[in-house]
Structure 1
Amino acid sequence: MTTTVTGAKAPTGPEPSAPASARRRRRRSSGGLARYIVIRAVLILPTIFILVSLVFFLMRSTGDPITAALGGRLTPDQLAVRIHAAGYDRPLLVQYFEYLGQIFTGNFGTTLSDNQPVTEILTHYGSATLELAFYSLIVAFIVGIPLGMVAAYFRDRGRDAALRVFAILCYATPVFFAGLLLKLIFSIWLDVLPVAGRASTGSELQMELLPHKTGIYLIDAFQTGSMAVVGDVLQHAVLPAVALGLLTAGVFLRLVRTNVIGTLSTDYVDAARSRGVGEFRLVRKHAYRPALIPIITVIGLQIALLLGGAVLTETTFEWKGLGFELAHYLQARDFVAVQGMVALLAVIVAVTNFVVDIIAALIDPRVRY
């Protein structure tokens, strides 16, 4: 006699093994990441195209570059000859497409005020601006992230309120005013840090003798083998980096505070708290890392803020980078030089945002979907 077991479900096939399921999840995850990277890479070119186009038409809305730069120094006939020779009397769209063609071939033109190739200016002074932005970002991390955690730990208390006011002051204070104040305190009153420049004359002379200069003074200082030169370069970088870095530190402080407080109210943190884990350990171990993900996602925007603030910072501290030169060419109304510099800054911002987006996707898989 056969016995029939009622309610039992007949097997329909072998259950997928755990390793096979894990492999499928990994393939889906890697496919999502690859698709995300491709989409972000494709969006770089339209972003740069729009920024470069806006700069071109905004500059030309005030007239041709020859008249803007040399209008008070040449006669009308001389101006007409120069304008025709440069091709600025042609239709605007013809000039625009020719300019785009030059940009894509790496030719940014020649400055009108001192007849220098814009590409040489970009390569010579661009490293100084990137070096200052790097120093400033380090200052922003050192100041903003720890203070944001402290504010979250003492939330809704006196220290939290003081740190929030500090963050607002950092963000709201004009960078040139912060620079002048730092120079007054540390260079004039205390006389402990240099007042301007990227390095002293003696250090610059030693770096000029190097066979393979990078233009990044800290790297070149290490190449000299002299710790005195390295120390001199770092001393000159302190005040500009702090003046510009505090601008971003205020953003990081408030962002870290908000996200740490939000993480502290999640279920898994409540479970850890119920097991007797102390509040400081909760902030340091459980809420710290999730709070860093938004920081990474906004770094790209902060790079744009740092590059914009570099114009005023470099002018205040005579830090000879793109910002310093941009202010010089703006005063000379040299639109060719200004267009080239702004186009390079647009490329830097777009590429930085792309890299930051990829890092954020690697850290947090939710970004990819």
Structure 2
Amino acid sequence: MTSAVSPPTVPPTPGASPRKPRSAPKGGGLGRYILVRGLLIIPTVFILVTMVFFLMRATGDPITASQGGRLTPDQLAERISEAGYDRPILVQYVEYLGKILTGDFGTTISDHRPVTEILVTYGTATLELVFFALIVALIVGIPLGMVAAYFRDRAPDAFLRVFAILCYATPVFFAGLLLKLVFSIWLGVLPTAGRASTASELELQMMDAPTGLYLLDAIRLGNPAVLGDVLQHAVLPGIALGLLTAGVFLRLVRTNVIGTLSMDYIDAARSRGVSEPRLVRKHAYKPALIPIITVMGMQIAMLLGGAVLTESTFEWQGLGFQLAHYLQARDFVAVQGIVALLAVIVAVTNFIVDIVSALIDPRVRY
């Protein structure tokens, strides 16, 4: 009768710790990731709103800052007392936070308009400008970044890298003035200012329930002449602001495509005879887009900051144009409300970008 022979046991190496079974990587799912990122919006907006409030108050109360040389001392003291700016700063701060939570951003000092009305009226114009600029940045930055990666360390690559630096370093207002000089004054092919001509604006305002987004309203209107007019007015502001971000996208795509082309699976495809243009177009293109989506939230903040100068240059009636106007008037109540809304937009945009990045690349969730 044959007995089973057990395999020989290997004695453990002296000083070696016993091997532990490999456990699954720790991390939360998509739901937990979304919850955490959503909760981070609250402290982000809170910190930004707090900083703006105390920076605005560092120059004194808003009534004195805006109307100091226009009212008598008695009238000034009366206005300050009515607005409650003679109370302790912490009391004003708590009251301001409470009003923001209810959607009340105060009333402007210079023209006595509710700040909420300004945000609703002009916010759509700024969002539309940022949309046009982002389209320009994607159309210019991504293809040129791929071209620069394909011609790495050659003349086209060097030229495009210099172009990217110029796009990022050139002030937005200077680029806008150059574009107006060339295309509006010298060539006379594009309008110099505004979101649309007077006739088109009248037609858009007479629509039923206009959204304030001229492009969307023009499409709904179904008038090709109005749609063409809106697009013509958006070309120069969109290019001036979009080139600011296009340089960032160009360099980012170039760096990531070059990194992807050195991967093992690219070498395997190259050994099978796949051409270099096809490798860039088919294999290295999509992995290079993930960093673009990741940094897009930060670029939205940059575009919103650049919108202030762009709207002033092209008289684009948006939040940036109004912000510059109220800064000149030293109307800090209006400035606080506009900056608070911009902070919310940036925080929500980064939240959306984080979710999209997690959906595309599951590694982001861990």
Match of 1:168 in 2: 165
Find the aligned partners of 1:216 and 1:86 in 2 and give their Cα distance. Answer: 35
1:108 shift after superposition: 0.2
1:76 shift after superposition: 0.8
1:2 shift after superposition: 4.8
- What is the one-letter code of the residue matched to 2:84? G
2:204 is aligned, of 199, 202, 207, to 207
The alignment status of 1:224 with 2:221, answered yes or no, reads yes
Match of 1:158 in 2: 155
- What is the one-letter code of the residue matched to 1:223? R
- What is the one-letter code of the residue matched to 1:247? L
- What is the one-letter code of the residue matched to 1:344? L
Match of 1:277 in 2: 274
1:6 shift after superposition: 4.5
- What is the one-letter code of the residue matched to 1:294? P
Equivalent residues in 2 for 1:134-149, closer than 5 Å: 134-149=131-146
Q: C-alpha deviations, 1:69-101, integer Å up to 9, x for none?
A: 100100111100000010000000000000000
Match of 1:302 in 2: 299
Find the aligned partners of 1:364 and 1:33 in 2 and give their Cα distance. Answer: 11
Find the aligned partners of 1:179 and 1:40 in 2 and give their Cα distance. Answer: 36
Match of 2:4 in 1: 4
Match of 1:107 in 2: 104
The alignment status of 1:196 with 2:219, answered yes or no, reads no
1:277 shift after superposition: 1.3
1:263 shift after superposition: 0.8
1:208 shift after superposition: 1.3
Gaps spanning 5+ residues in structure 2: where?
9-23
Find the aligned partners of 1:272 and 1:2 in 2 and give their Cα distance. Answer: 55
Match of 1:98 in 2: 95
Alignment length, in residue pairs?
353
- What is the one-letter code of the residue matched to 1:253? L
1:273 shift after superposition: 1.3
1:38 shift after superposition: 1.2
Q: C-alpha deviations, 1:143-192, integer Å up to 9, x for none?
A: 00000000000000000000000000000000000000000000000000
The alignment status of 1:335 with 2:340, answered yes or no, reads no
Find the aligned partners of 1:306 and 1:121 in 2 and give their Cα distance. Answer: 20
2:255 is aligned, of 234, 255, 258, to 258
Q: C-alpha deviations, 1:6-36, integer Å up to 9, x for none?
A: 449xxxxxxxxxxxxxxxx9xx88x422221
Find the aligned partners of 2:206 and 2:138 in 1 and give their Cα distance. Answer: 34
Find the aligned partners of 2:118 and 2:150 in 1 and give their Cα distance. Answer: 48
Find the aligned partners of 1:240 and 1:205 in 2 and give their Cα distance. Answer: 21
Q: C-alpha deviations, 1:33-63, integer Å up to 9, x for none?
A: 2221111111100000000000000000000
Secondary structure in 1 matching 2:108: coil
Secondary structure in 1 matching 2:29: helix
The alignment status of 1:323 with 2:308, answered yes or no, reads no
The alignment status of 1:125 with 2:161, answered yes or no, reads no
1:223 shift after superposition: 2.3
The alignment status of 1:249 with 2:246, answered yes or no, reads yes
Find the aligned partners of 1:91 and 1:145 in 2 and give their Cα distance. Answer: 52
The alignment status of 1:358 with 2:355, answered yes or no, reads yes
Match of 2:79 in 1: 82
2:31 is aligned, of 24, 29, 34, to 34
- TM-score, normalised by the number of residues in structure 2: 0.94
The percentage of counterpart residues that share the same residue type is 78
Find the aligned partners of 1:239 and 1:75 in 2 and give their Cα distance. Answer: 46
Gaps spanning 5+ residues in structure 1: where?
9-24
1:47 is aligned, of 38, 44, 47, to 44
Find the aligned partners of 1:34 and 1:272 in 2 and give their Cα distance. Answer: 37
1:3 shift after superposition: 5.4
Q: CA RMSD in A?
A: 1.6
Find the aligned partners of 2:39 and 2:252 in 1 and give their Cα distance. Answer: 29
Q: C-alpha deviations, 1:288-337, integer Å up to 9, x for none?
A: 11111100000000000000000000000000000000000000000000
Find the aligned partners of 1:233 and 1:227 in 2 and give their Cα distance. Answer: 10
Match of 1:17 in 2: none
Match of 1:12 in 2: none
Find the aligned partners of 1:170 and 1:4 in 2 and give their Cα distance. Answer: 77
1:222 shift after superposition: 1.7
Secondary structure in 1 matching 2:246: helix
1:272 shift after superposition: 1.2
1:5 shift after superposition: 5.6
- What is the one-letter code of the residue matched to 2:323? L
Greater mean alpha carbon deviation, residues 263-272 or residues 325-334? 263-272
1:4 shift after superposition: 2.7
